[in-house]
Chain A
Amino acid sequence: EAGVAQSPRYKIIEKRQSVAFWCNPISGHATLYWYQQILGQGPKLLIQFQNNGVVDDSQLPKDRFSAERLKGVDSTLKIQPAKLEDSAVYLCASSFHGLQETQYFGPGTRLLVL
């Protein structure tokens, strides 16, 4: 079974530029999560989708971050404009139906904002 795919793996941009990350979850997984992991810390949930609907986006900085999951499969996370403090690893995860179960993580996208 293929795992969670993410691209790109690395991205370097200058502050105030925009960037987009892509995630393809495990086939059949209804729930998709985007996490931000700052160096030395645990992942922090940014947004959770159930199919193509948003379940939780309480920690998403909505003035600059946006995410969508059209058709309930792939998802994109966008930052516009980026700030220095957005430098982090952005992890995508998926689970079968999201209720109290294992989440499967992709390799992450490492973002450096200069």
Chain B
Amino acid sequence: SQQGEEDPQALSIQEGENATMNCSYKTSINNLQWYRQNSGRGLVHLILIRSNEREKHSGRLRVTLDTSKKSSSLLITASRAADTASYFCATDAGIYNQGGKLIFGQGTELSVKP
């Protein structure tokens, strides 16, 4: 079963607007990561947030983590057409994880219209 579940499954916005994607997970984690996947390509790592962190920034990206609610959000500010991609959250399995295994959600498909 999936550990992370993204919401919404699809999001369409205009260039310049902000995009927010949410991820919920089920078990305790050590860290949560967000990846981007352009159509027909491999995944690209965006940001990693550890379980003792609440917020992290990287350029136009802001990630929050609420371990009490077992949820995370990814905010992309001032979106660009080039941000069009699928976005995945990935969690380890916390204390049950062996060797860094990641469990991915089903992704949010973001479309940014120029």
Give the secondary structure class of B's interface: loop
Contact of A4 among B42, B106, B107 (CB under 8 A): B42
Task: Report A-chain residues with C-beta under 8 Å of the C-beta of B101.
Answer: 45, 48, 55-56
Most buried by A among B4, B40, B48: B40
Q: Which of A89-114 contact B (CB under 8 A)?
A: 91, 93, 95, 98-108, 110
**Complex partner residue of B104 from A44, A100, A108, CB under 8 angstroms:** A44
Q: In the assembly, what is the distance between CA of A93 and CA of B48, in Å?
A: 16
Binding site for B on A (CB under 8 A): 4, 31, 40-45, 48, 50, 55-56, 91, 93, 95, 98-108, 110
**Chain B interface residues (CB < 8 Å from chain A):** 2, 4, 30-31, 33, 35, 40-45, 48, 88, 90, 92, 97-107
